[in-house]
A and B are shown apart, each in its own frame.
Chain A
Amino acid sequence: MSVLRRNVSVALAIARKDAIAEVRGKQAAVSTLTFAALVLLLFGFALGPDPRRLADAAPGLLWLGLVFAGLLAVGRFHEVETEDGALEQLTLYPVDRRSIYAGKAAIGALAMLVLGALLVPLMAILFAVDVVHALPVLALTVVLGAIGFAAVGTFYAGVTVRMRAREVMLPLLVLPIVAPLLLAAVKATSAALTGDPFGELPAWLELLAGFDVVMLIAGAGTYGFLVEE
């Protein structure tokens, strides 16, 4: 078995383990999804009943909801490892550290996709936005955003996992880093939903894809230092 195939299978095994644990446990998954929905609902209250304003703000609100709920999700997949010394066990396996990072990032991205699958229809309903005509572009944006967020979030979850006050530190470190992702994703979503007269959409998707690649490389390259400590 080639090295690459072995690493990929290790990553998939880790992602699969976490997915099974979440599906069987359910509490964390259900509470995170509920939290995400609640965020959108409260944004609706905060911005008032004017449907025009809500529709204009919808892309930004969608992505803020995804980012806030995503923080809970990526933190969760490292937190489960702190129980019963599971993290030490995981790092004792003779596998490439990058596979561990890739596995955790993959499950994080999957969680973001599940959140997106909930929040996009919810945004369409709550803020009266027509998403059907833009679904392919929207899906692509969510996929790119999910990968980028999981790449960053997983890295910082690795940084903070054994730290005091990690519940505060994770958002504090992640939020400024994902600012370009938020910006590009909101712009792309907005262009997909309300039309794109200046043809900006490809540039924003490129920026998202570039962010994903850079952060995956940076995360995979440095994650090994964190688990060795």
Chain B
Amino acid sequence: MKTRILGIVALLAVVAATLFGLFVVPADLNQGDAQRIMYPHVASAWLAYLSFGVTALAGIGWLIRRDLRFDSVAVASAEIGVVFTAFAIWGGMMWARPVWGVFWQWEDPRLTTTALLLALYVGYLLLRRLSDDPARRATRASVVGLVAAVDMPIVHFSVIWWRGLHQAPTFLSPDKILNPSAPLPFVLALVGMLGAFTLAWAWLLIRRYQLARAELAREEAVRGGLIRKASRSASSSTASSSLPTGDVAGAGGGTQSKAPAEAAR
């Protein structure tokens, strides 16, 4: 119930921030309406970094405590992070086309860094898909999430250097985002969008976490032979929804519990 309230509040906040950014704040003098893309764009980029930070911390949690709930937080956060990273890149390209004249600009360190970020965590999610055993998957994912998090600052600074060693970093300097001379409606729109997106992120994280727990419970049930893996198909749904007889459990559980592809290696 609390989660539902959070979801409704987040939805209202995102709608309000969107309306504010679209209609209340005046358009940028130089960039026109294209500049409005920046509000959700910056908010998505922030959520991407927040998500992957949470994934790394949850990974450490699993490695220390060996509690699969940490792993569920990690996968929930990573998946949301990938979505917002992709959204940030998409928004950036939509902005770049009218303002710079091109979709992709190799000179921009943020764009290239974010593209690598997306690749890193798509790999992370694929890695999870290809691991069958929950504990093994959690361990692999944790160490990969950690190394990815360690790599990100190196990627970021190397790309900045690559563009030209003599240029000062622009992304990590906060004055660019919170410029004191920026007009108040602009700052309000940006901060409002950041807050609204973060609320939505929290709601998504809780829901995806619950889903991850349910997935895990289902996996364990399949492994233990309580339900059959193929229970999605209509023909076997009657057999698996009721308590299975011995041979059904033997057929389903016997092959599943070994996780054949992994055990063979």
Which A residues are closer than 8 A to B by beta carbons? 82, 152, 155-156, 159-165, 169, 172-173, 175-177, 179-180, 183-184, 187, 198, 200, 203-204, 207, 210-211, 214-215, 218-219, 222, 225-226, 228-229
Contact (A180, B151) CB under 8 Å given A225-B63, A225-B139:
yes
Are B135 and A175 closer than 8 Å at their CB atoms? no
Q: Which secondary structure dominates where chain B touches chain A?
A: helix
Bound Cα distance A218, B155 (Å) = 15
Are A159 and B262 closer than 8 Å at their CB atoms? no
Please give the distance in Å from B264's CB to the nearest CB on chain A.
Answer: 9
Please give the distance in Å from A117's CB to the nearest CB on chain B.
Answer: 26
Q: Which residues of A contact B155 (CB under 8 A)?
A: 179-180
Bound Cα distance A82, B262 (Å) = 11
Instruction: List the A residue with the shortest CB-CB distance to B265.
Output: A162
Q: Which of the residues B139, B143, B147 comes within 8 Å of A177, measured between beta carbons?
A: B147
Q: Which residues of A contact B146 (CB under 8 A)?
A: 218, 222
Residue of A152, A164, A165, A218 contacting most chain B CB atoms (<10 Å): A164
Q: Which secondary structure dominates where chain A touches chain B?
A: helix
Contact (A164, B147) CB under 8 Å given A198-B166, A207-B158, A229-B140:
no
A-B residue pairs in contact (CB < 8 Å), sample of 18:
A163-B130, A165-B130, A173-B127, A179-B116, A179-B158, A180-B157, A180-B158, A187-B162, A203-B161, A207-B154, A207-B158, A211-B154, A214-B150, A215-B150, A218-B150, A225-B139, A229-B139, A229-B140
Tell me which of B10-18, B118-126, B171-179, B246-254 binds A: B118-126
Q: Which of the residues A159, A200, A207 comes within 8 Å of B143, measured between beta carbons?
A: A159
Say if the beta carbon of B210 comes within 8 Å of chain A. Answer: no
Are B151 and A159 closer than 8 Å at their CB atoms? no
Are A164 and B144 closer than 8 Å at their CB atoms? no
Say if the beta carbon of B136 comes within 8 Å of chain A. Answer: yes
Say if the beta carbon of B261 comes within 8 Å of chain A. Answer: yes
Instruction: List the A residue with the shortest CB-CB distance to B159.
Output: A183
Please give the distance in Å from A214's CB to the nearest CB on chain B.
Answer: 6
Q: Which of the residues B144, B150, B161, B261 comes within 8 Å of A207, measured between beta carbons?
A: B161
Q: Which residues of B contact A228 (CB under 8 A)?
A: 139
Interface residues on B, range: 20 to 34
Q: Which residues of A contact B85 (CB under 8 A)?
A: none
Instruction: List the A residue with the shortest CB-CB distance to B261.
Output: A164
Q: Which residues of A contact B25 (CB under 8 A)?
A: none
Instruction: List the A residue with the shortest CB-CB distance to B138.
Output: A229
Q: Which residues of A contact B166 (CB under 8 A)?
A: 198
Q: Which residues of A contact B123 (CB under 8 A)?
A: 169, 172-173, 176
Instruction: List the B residue with the shortest CB-CB distance to A82.
Output: B265
Are B142 and A229 closer than 8 Å at their CB atoms? no
Please give the distance in Å from A194's CB to the nearest CB on chain B.
Answer: 16
Residue of A152, A161, A163, A204 contacting most chain B CB atoms (<10 Å): A163
Say if the beta carbon of B35 comes within 8 Å of chain A. Answer: no
Bound Cα distance A156, B140 (Å) = 10
Instruction: List the B residue with the shortest CB-CB distance to A158.
Output: B143
Are B142 and A225 closer than 8 Å at their CB atoms? yes
Please give the distance in Å from A180's CB to the nearest CB on chain B.
Answer: 4
Instruction: List the B residue with the shortest CB-CB distance to A187.
Output: B162
Q: Which residues of A contact B126 (CB under 8 A)?
A: 169, 172
Instruction: List the B residue with the shortest CB-CB distance to A79.
Output: B265
Contact (A176, B119) CB under 8 Å given A82-B265, A162-B265, A211-B154:
yes
Are B119 and A175 closer than 8 Å at their CB atoms? yes
Say if the beta carbon of B212 comes within 8 Å of chain A. Answer: no
Mark out the residues of chain B between 72 and 88 whose CB falls within 8 Å of any chain A CB in the assembled complex: none
Please give the distance in Å from A172's CB to the nearest CB on chain B.
Answer: 5
Are A183 and B162 closer than 8 Å at their CB atoms? yes
Are A180 and B130 closer than 8 Å at their CB atoms? no
Instruction: List the B residue with the shortest CB-CB distance to A168.
Output: B126
Bound Cα distance A159, B148 (Å) = 13
Q: Which residues of B contact A155 (CB under 8 A)?
A: 143, 147
Instruction: List the B residue with the shortest CB-CB distance to A152.
Output: B147
Mark out the residues of chain B between 221 and 265 whose CB falls within 8 Å of any chain A CB in the assembled complex: 261-262, 265
Bound Cα distance A163, B159 (Å) = 32
Are A177 and B162 closer than 8 Å at their CB atoms? no
Q: Which residues of B contact A226 (CB under 8 A)?
A: 139-140, 143
Additional pairs, 12, CB under 8 Å, beyond known A172-B126, A203-B161, A229-B135 = A82-B265, A155-B143, A163-B262, A169-B123, A177-B147, A177-B148, A180-B151, A183-B159, A183-B162, A207-B158, A222-B146, A226-B140
